[in-house]
Structure 1
Amino acid sequence: MRPIVLLTGASAGIGEEIAVKLSEKYDLILTGRNTEKLNELQQKLTPECKSYVLSMDLSNLEKMETTLLEFLKDQNINIHKLVHCAGFMKMIPLKLINNDFMLECFTTNVFSASLLVKLLTNKKHNNSLLDAVVFISSNISNRGAKAMSTYGASKSALDGLMRNFAVELAPKVRLNSVLPGAVLTKMTQNIFDNEDVMSRMQAQYPLGIGYGADIADAVNFLLSDEARWITGQQMTVDGGRSINISS
């Protein structure tokens, strides 16, 4: 019997690549708000993968909890691994930030992750079978950028959550984060189509722009037994951007 992975944000570019990669050795619960895209994604998975589609809005924590617990009960299944790829990101300067924006960003990026780990480590709800978690963070977690204060703070909080859970839940559960840099996906294609942006990115990234598969490979490793002695770590996958001080 193949282990089951719950993947949030599966309908997005990076989430889709993660799903395809993980389908090689795991069964998947694909979550997101766009059911049509999730259904299309199922057709891209390996034939051996048994997959489920679960429409879930992470910005509504109460509804998210009810939806997930009812699903687990109805399907009579348990989740062994969690990949939290869903994220809320908007570039907004400080003078335009309001309470609703900050709450939605932190609820989707951080609070939902905390609640998911809580539910999946519960013996009553999931037989305490969760053994590995990967949060998709961002290389901005340890850096800074204009108009990114709320998003950046939420990713820093997500990594802080990861480190504390890693200590609290060891040795039963391993938790790590993957911090991507600029990744070319369908959602970001229009950004990279700008010649000025692409030229600047190529100068900043020693190994060039990344792809969703680069992030998927990192996630796959961190979930595997090969990473059995790795927990509480930020794995930066950004083509060398974070160590390049020459540009």
Structure 2
Amino acid sequence: MPRLHNKIVLITGAARGQGAAEARLFVREGARVVITDVLEAQGRQLAEELGKDVAVFLRHDVASEADWLQAVAAADALGGLHGLINNAGIFQPRTLMETDTALFEQHIRINQLGPFLGMKAVVPLMERCGGGAIVNVSSVAGLRGSPGAIAYSATKWALRGMTKAAAIDLAPRKIRVNSIHPGPIDTPMLEVRTPEQNQRRLQAVPMKRMGTPEEVADLVLFLISDESRYITGAEVAIDGGATL
């Protein structure tokens, strides 16, 4: 039987990259998905590709409480909610002295406030469905110092801590919460750096390559599925050994 048979999963930032790979994999594994993003054209195209019976797209600003209520309502209309992937995020690397208040606050709103609002918003519906699982997409920048990316690092460390606190709070409600920490993954997010900068970064990765969105999706599938039913509050690096 497919691992997500009859499950409904909400994925933020799912119009492309890791989120899109997760949506495709989850549908193959029997789930119905709510795809959310601010990239409307790409998100709608993905939902159409997957099929209207198993996928819906919703434009969603993760820093908006009202948008979260609409996203949860979309899941409810599909029949409930069993999983949440807080995948939406921004990465605009700047050093401490290059980072202004506006850029710092933008990272906080999307990378930190967004998952906070999401975790809080989905709990009542998940609880009514008998429980569920949440995966927060942090970063290796949430496990160690990351040069030239102070705002991004701050929010990814925060998300790591929020995951552990939420795992304790939500365990009595039969909701598991885990974080994953990708290293360099071959997605459009890394286009803020030049190909030469990305190649130099790979020299510190023991496996000497970028990861793929599909490899991240495989990990998220495990953490959302019942195969990981006794795992909560964990932080899992998927980085080719970069944090060793």
Q: TM-score, normalising length from structure 1?
A: 0.86
Q: Deviations over 1:82-121 (max 9, x none)?
A: 0010002211222232332222211211112112111211
Q: Would the aligned equivalents of 1:119 and 1:126 in 2 still touch at CA under 8 Å?
A: no
Q: How does 1:17-166 map to 2 (within 5 A)?
A: 17-24=21-28, 25-45=30-50, 50-59=54-63, 61-68=64-71, 71=74, 75=77, 77-122=79-124, 127=128, 129-166=130-167
Structure-2 change in CA distance of 1:180 and 1:69 (3 Å):
closer
Q: Would the aligned equivalents of 1:78 and 1:126 in 2 still touch at CA under 8 Å?
A: no
Structure-2 change in CA distance of 1:187 and 1:166 (3 Å):
closer
Unaligned runs of 5+ in 1: none
Q: Would the aligned equivalents of 1:4 and 1:26 in 2 still touch at CA under 8 Å?
A: yes
Unaligned runs of 5+ in 2: none
Q: Deviations over 1:18-64 (max 9, x none)?
A: 1111111210000001121012212443x6961111111123x2332
Q: Aligned partners of 2:7 and 2:131: how far apart in 1?
A: 10
Q: Aligned partners of 2:193 and 2:95: how far apart in 1?
A: 19
Q: Would the aligned equivalents of 1:120 and 1:129 in 2 still touch at CA under 8 Å?
A: no
After TM superposition, give the deviation of residue 188 of structure 1 in Å: 3.2
Q: What is the identity, as a one-letter code, of the residue corresponding to 1:132?
A: A
Q: Would the aligned equivalents of 1:20 and 1:44 in 2 still touch at CA under 8 Å?
A: no
After TM superposition, give the deviation of residue 70 of structure 1 in Å: 5.1
Residue 206 of structure 2: aligned partner: 206
Residue 237 of structure 1: aligned partner: 238
Q: TM-score, normalising length from structure 2?
A: 0.87
Q: What is the identity, as a one-letter code, of the residue corresponding to 2:118?
A: L
Structure-2 change in CA distance of 1:149 and 1:71 (3 Å):
same
Task: Give SS of 1:188's match.
Answer: helix
C-alpha root-mean-square deviation of aligned residues, in Å? 2.4
Report the count of equivalent residues: 237
